[in-house]
Structure 1
Amino acid sequence: MAFQPKTKEFTSKAGNKYTFQNVMNSKQAAIIDEGTGLGGKVINVKMMPLMLQNVVVSPQGLTMDDFDTWEELEEVTSEAITFLQTGQ
């Protein structure tokens, strides 16, 4: 069975639109391993850029500093993590 990427459209509370796309299981495992610490706790400084680089496909090339507020950065990356793990 070949990998078929899924996408999701997401609109933040601020009204900005994003498109998420999942990754292959091997890439997901690498992302989770790199972005979490002991006990599976998310390390924001590592996980947020990984979500923006690998899961948020539109707009492309976002960095943490492209967001006007921490609230939106956290909202988008948290939603991206949920999508990556659940496909929803």
Structure 2
Amino acid sequence: MAFTPKTKEFKSTAGNDYTFQNVTNSKQAEIVDEGTGLQGKVLNSKMMPLMLENIVVVPNGLTMDDFDTWEELEEVTTAAFSFLRTGQ
């Protein structure tokens, strides 16, 4: 069975549109390993850029500093992480 990427449209509370796309299981494992600390706690400074680079595909090339507020950055990256883990 071959991997077929799934996408999801997401609209933030601020009204901005994003598209998420999942990755292969091996890439997901790399992301989770890189974005979490020794106790399994998510490290925002590592996980948020990984979500923006690998999961948020539209708009492409976002960085943490492209967001006007922490609230929207956190909302989008949390939703992207949830999509990464569940595909929904």
TM-score by length of 1: 0.99
Distance in 1, matches of 2:49 and 2:36, equals 12
Where in structure 2 are the equivalents of 1:36-75 lying within 5 Å? 36-75=36-75
Identity %: 78
TM-score by length of 2: 0.99
Q: Aligned AA for 2:47?
A: M
Which shifted more, 14-23 or 32-41?
32-41
Distance in 1, matches of 2:42 and 2:80, equals 13
Unaligned runs of 5+ in 1: none
Equivalent position of 1:35 in the other structure: 35
Equivalent position of 2:83 in the other structure: 83
Match of 1:19, SS state, is strand
What are the superposed Cα offsets for residues 50-69 of structure 1, whole Å, 9 maximum, x if unpaired?
A: 00000000000000000000
Q: CA RMSD in A?
A: 0.4
- The structure 1 segments of at least 4 consecutive aligned residues displaced by more than 2 Å after TM superposition are none
